[in-house]
Amino acid sequence: DAGITQSPRHKVTETGTPVTLRCHQTENHRYMYWYRQDPGHGLRLIHYSYGVKDTDKGEVSDGYSVSRSKTEDFLLTLESATSSQTSVYFCAISQESPGELFFGEGSRLTVL
């Protein structure tokens, strides 16, 4: 299995609070992605990174920000969580783009 660790795996928070999800990889892959998975919507790209400090928006980036200060870490931040951001968040990595994506095990976020 690809070395991808997401933390936390489960989180319950209140509307309006900030939340940070962390993705850590040990594969030294160049590309890192954050997706959210919701019933009826499949996997939707939030943000992605193509190198340290190089990031770009995906199709559902509003309300989210990311940072990548090291090759191995990609952080997803919800500055002020809303109930619509209740979802399962997946981090993925790839050696090339497009290429095979290796996914983490997901982080389930509930915003009350």
Partner 1 sequence: QQQVKQSPQSLIVQKGGISIINCAYENTAFDYFPWYQQFPGKGPALLIAIRPDVSEKKEGRFTISFNKSAKQFSLHIMDSQPGDSATYFCAASKSNFGNEKLTFGTGTRLTIIP
Using the rule CB under 8 A, is 75 a contact of partner 1? no
By rule CB under 8 A, what string of x and - marks binding of each residue 49-68 to partner 1?
-x-----x-x----------
Least distance CB 13 / partner 1 (angstroms): 21
From 10-18, 19-27, 66-74, 101-109, span contacting partner 1 (CB under 8 A)? 101-109
CA distance 89 to 3: 17
Using the rule CB under 8 A, is 93 a contact of partner 1? no
Strands (E), 1-112: 4-7, 10-13, 19-25, 31-38, 42-51, 54-57, 64-70, 73-78, 87-94, 102-103, 107-111
Using the rule CB under 8 A, is 15 a contact of partner 1? no
Reference 87, options 45, 34, 47, 38; nearest CA is 38
Interaction site with partner 1 (CB under 8 A): 4, 33, 40-45, 48, 50, 56, 58, 90, 92, 97-98, 100-106
